[in-house]
């Protein structure tokens, strides 16, 4: 690549010297010497171009540069050396301009490779030594200084580390990782120096996988570019016919030469590759790596998108969804004790419980005398109490199931959740329900795909039908295919392919065969290189499913720009050929006209570097959008408590029910109602100035009124309520109101979050 570019620069330099030298000597009345200088400057370009065309012919390709070669050879044969050197300068200059345009477009992709670390600081005894990154072994302790790139994948050994993962994930805000958490290669240390323990070699690390994908994206040639070659094959015979006709009817071979010069096919040579590489670079900025031009063109024609469920449409891991406490137990105390115990386990469920405990701000203790029964549960001493967590059989033995335990199992069943029962000092105390959750951005991603022109969206998963149908209904998918093993997924993809161009999106090893089988396989690769990333044609480096629609929009816009450039270039060249045939353009003027066309085509193709030409709208300040999201996060804790109260009212005595209803009323009045009123009086007026369509806010205001109405109903029910008034019917009414408020506020918050994301986004809407 470097040698070829240097050769093209040498050719343009020789041609320019020949052109300027010839002009200079012509002014001092040495016309013959001028002709020789112009010819000498053109001949190296002619020879280089002839060699290139012969090489293409041997490889079974018809070089589209044949018209330029014919133009220069004819000009030299007819004694029009000036025309020959002008064509040579224009052609060689176009090649250099292409190098510049391609280099600019490749910059975002190449930066990933250029910034890859070359050395690492390995701990040896009490000191550190600099070693080549290839020498890092699993288990080595590595020092990462402030501002340095994390060299390999590993776990944080220091108490904490602040990492800028934007180059890997596309997210601009640094994240804090604590001891034991993963540090991915390619991230930048945005804080103080920290130590980490290598968990992979350089070649097996996240960044190495990304670099391989980038390299393949840079070197692949698209079928779309070959389509441009086919357009050029039409131009060659047309040019020869027009040039021959001009010569025949005028009797002047110079007119034929002018036609050949005006028809130099630079627009076709440059338009498609420049647009493709520019589109790939634009995708890279969004955290999307496209492995070549074939996937880019196929993505532009997609009709059906198929999604895996776990880890793709859902977060892909166990999440705490409910704490079912036994009568007399406090849910937070139960979670704190279990979270403390689970710190001693490496099980994925244990990690989820610990994370949920930390997220709620619970202070965990170090457990003692921990014993783990593989596949069944965990037992240990926390704060002097014997805590046991695991299956119902381990915790409760063969005793008769309590009503609360039966209720917990029933709720776990309809939520498709895993239940972890807990006992304290031998007494059953509650159960934790854990399940996979829908990604928050998934509904927005599905809407964006439909807006981008995708006609059919299908989910294909190995999960149970009831769980899959729940997700499918929530996202309004066109079809749900459940209980599918990898071979079944491939069969489903191939069936869709027979009807329409199909994209498959997945993240796991079991998705790799389906990703490879699809017209375009898209892997959610933010969690590191895997078999799915290797099999996929496109890798999403950001852990956000809405980037799939971004990839489709970018691909369609890139293809449209390339087609525009090709057709516009051919049309302009046709006009110039006609003018030359009628004698209105001399060979030199034709060459200059063609160069102007070339520049216009390249500039148009470079439009694919930008996200679009729509007007940029005002956006919410990042700090304001972040504050609104944090308000919702804080409100979620109150909603969790309302859910716990509603669940507990199932079998509660009158005295306890009155206290719980009063607590629910306080939460609703002091936290939820105040939050909704603040939204209505402060946030929504601000959003009116930012949204292109404010009609959605009026519907959201209607939800506010419904929430306030339900809050008034709860307040009336609780006002003056005593134990003597709390019969089972009144308790049931209160429970229903609380459940309605909790569900309505969660849905309302999710809708608001979509609006906040839209108002706070820095994207520019793409022109279709």
For every residue of 646-663, which 3-state class applies, written as one string?
HHHHHHCCHHHHHHHHHH
Q: How far is CA 193 from the centre of its chain?
A: 30
Cβ contacts of 354 within 8 Å, gap of 6 or more:
339, 342, 343, 364
Residue 314 per-residue DSSP state: B
Nearest CA to 429 out of 361, 336, 321 is that of: 336
Burial per residue of 266-297, b for 16 or more beta-carbon CB atoms within 10 angstroms, e otherwise: bbbbbbbbbbbbbbbbbbbebbbbbbbbbbbb
List, in sequence order, every residue forming a beta bridge with 538; answer none if it has no partner.
Answer: 290, 522
Query: Is residue 308 among the annotated active site residues?
Result: yes
Q: Residue 586 to residues 82, 159, 578, 582, 595: CA-CA distances in angstroms?
A: 11, 76, 12, 10, 14
d(CA 313, CA 432): 23
Cβ contacts of 608 within 8 Å, gap of 6 or more:
105, 275, 276, 278, 279, 282, 557, 558, 561, 562
DSSP string, 248-302: HHH--HHHHHHHHHHT--HHHHHHHHHHHHHHHHHHHHTTEEE-SHHHHHHHHT-
Return the SS3 of 525: coil
Cβ contacts of 674 within 8 Å, gap of 6 or more:
none
CA angle 144-146-151, nearest 5°?
35
With residue 13 as reference, give the H or E element that holds it: helix 2-27
Nearest CA to 209 out of 539, 545, 542 is that of: 539
Nearest CA to 80 out of 243, 235, 260, 264 is that of: 260
Q: Dump strand ranges (E) for 190-238.
A: 194-198
d(CA 361, CA 363): 6
What six digits make up the tokens of 429? 């105390």
d(CA 688, CA 268): 47
Residues 164, 308, 507, 546: which is the catalytic one? 308
d(CA 15, CA 6): 14
Residue with tokens 């859910």: 643
- Where helices occur in 264-423 by DSSP H, the ranges are 266-285, 293-300, 331-342, 348-359, 392-396, 403-414
Sheet holding 160-164, edge to edge: 175-178, 160-164, 188-189
The helices-and-strands tally (H runs, E runs) of the chain is 27, 22
Q: CB of 449 within 8 A of CB of 549?
A: yes
d(CA 39, CA 18): 8
What six digits make up the tokens of 403? 């009503």
d(CA 586, CA 580): 7
What six digits make up the tokens of 309? 């469920």
d(CA 666, CA 715): 9
Residues belonging to the active site? 308
């Amino acid at each position: 690549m470097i040698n070829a570019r240097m050769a093209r620069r040498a050719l343009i330099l020789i041609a320019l010297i020949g052109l300027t030298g010839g002009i200079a000597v012509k002014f001092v009345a040495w016309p013959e010497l001028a002709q020789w200088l112009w010819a000498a400057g053109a001949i190296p370009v002619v020879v280089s171009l002839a060699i290139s065309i012969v090489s293409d012919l041997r490889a079974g390709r018809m070089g589209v540069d044949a018209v330029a070669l014919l133009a220069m050879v004819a000009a030299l044969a007819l004694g029009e050396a000036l025309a020959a050197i002008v064509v040579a300068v224009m052609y060689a200059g176009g090649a250099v301009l292409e190098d510049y345009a391609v280099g600019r477009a490749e910059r975002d992709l190449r930066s990933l490779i250029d910034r890859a670390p070359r050395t690492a600081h390995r701990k040896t005894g009490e000191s550190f030594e600099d070693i080549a990154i290839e020498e890092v072994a699993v288990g080595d302790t590595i020092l990462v200084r402030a501002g340095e790139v994390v060299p390999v994948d590993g776990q944080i050994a220091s108490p904490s580390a602040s990492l800028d993962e934007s180059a890997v994930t596309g997210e601009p805000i640094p994240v804090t990782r604590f001891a034991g958490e993963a540090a991915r290669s390619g991230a930048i240390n945005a804080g103080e120096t920290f130590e980490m323990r290598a968990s992979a070699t350089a070649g097996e690390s996240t960044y190495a996988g990304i670099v391989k994908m980038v390299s393949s994206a840079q070197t692949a040639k698209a079928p779309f570019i070959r389509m441009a070659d086919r357009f050029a094959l039409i131009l060659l015979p047309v040019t020869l016919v027009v040039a021959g006709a001009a010569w025949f009817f005028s009797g002047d071979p110079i007119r034929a030469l002018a036609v050949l010069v005006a028809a130099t096919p630079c627009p076709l040579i440059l338009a498609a590759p420049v647009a493709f590489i520019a589109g790939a670079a634009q995708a890279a900025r969004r955290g999307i790596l496209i492995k070549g031009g074939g996937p880019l063109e196929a993505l532009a024609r997609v009709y059906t998108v198929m999604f895996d469920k776990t880890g793709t449409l859902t977060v892909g891991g166990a999440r705490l969804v409910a704490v079912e406490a036994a009568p007399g137990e406090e849910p937070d105390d139960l979670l704190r004790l279990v979270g403390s115990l689970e710190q001693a386990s490496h099980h994925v469920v244990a990690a989820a419980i610990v994370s949920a405990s930390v997220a709620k701000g619970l202070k965990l203790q170090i457990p003692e005398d921990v014993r783990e029964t593989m596949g069944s549960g965990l037992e240990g001493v926390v704060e002097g109490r014997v805590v046991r967590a695991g299956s119902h059989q381990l915790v409760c033995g063969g005793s008769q199931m309590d009503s609360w335990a039966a209720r917990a199992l029933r709720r776990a069943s309809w939520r498709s959740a895993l239940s972890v029962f807990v006992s304290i000092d031998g007494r059953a105390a509650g159960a934790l329900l854990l399940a996979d959750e829908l990604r928050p951005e998934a509904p927005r991603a599905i809407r964006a795909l439909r807006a981008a022109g995708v006609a059919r969206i299908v989910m294909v998963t190995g999960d149970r039908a009831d769980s899959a149908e729940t997700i499918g209904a929530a996202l309004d998918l066109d079809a749900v295919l459940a209980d599918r093993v990898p071979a079944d997924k491939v069969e489903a993809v191939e069936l869709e392919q027979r009807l329409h161009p199909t994209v498959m999106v997945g993240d796991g090893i079991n998705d790799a065969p389906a990703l490879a089988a699809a017209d375009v396989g898209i892997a959610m690769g933010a969690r590191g290189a895997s078999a799915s990333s290797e099999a996929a044609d496109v890798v999403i480096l950001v852990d956000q499913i809405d980037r799939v629609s971004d990839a489709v929009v970018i691909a369609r816009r890139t293809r449209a720009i390339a087609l525009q450039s090709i057709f516009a270039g051919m049309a302009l060249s046709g006009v110039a050929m006609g003018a030359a045939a009628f004698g209105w353009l001399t060979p030199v003027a034709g060459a200059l006209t063609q160069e102007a066309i070339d520049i216009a085509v390249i500039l148009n193709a470079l439009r694919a570097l930008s996200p679009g030409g729509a007007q940029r709208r005002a956006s919410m300040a990042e700090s304001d959008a972040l504050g609104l999201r944090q308000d919702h996060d804080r409100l979620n804790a109150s909603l969790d408590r309302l859910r716990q109260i509603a669940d507990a009212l199932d079998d509660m005595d009158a005295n306890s029910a009155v206290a719980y209803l009063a607590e629910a009323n306080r939460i609703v009045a002091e936290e939820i109602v105040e939050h909704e009123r603040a939204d209505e009086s402060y946030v929504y007026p601000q959003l009116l100035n930012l949204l292109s369509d404010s009609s959605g806010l009026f519907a959201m205001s209607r939800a506010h009124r419904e929430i306030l109405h339900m809050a008034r109903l709860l307040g009336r029910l609780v006002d003056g309520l005593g134990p003597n008034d709390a019969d089972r019917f009144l308790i049931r009414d209160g429970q229903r109101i609380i459940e309605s408020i909790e569900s309505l506020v969660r849905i309302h918050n999710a809708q608001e979050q979509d609006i906040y994301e839209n108002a706070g986004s820095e994207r520019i809407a793409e022109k279709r």
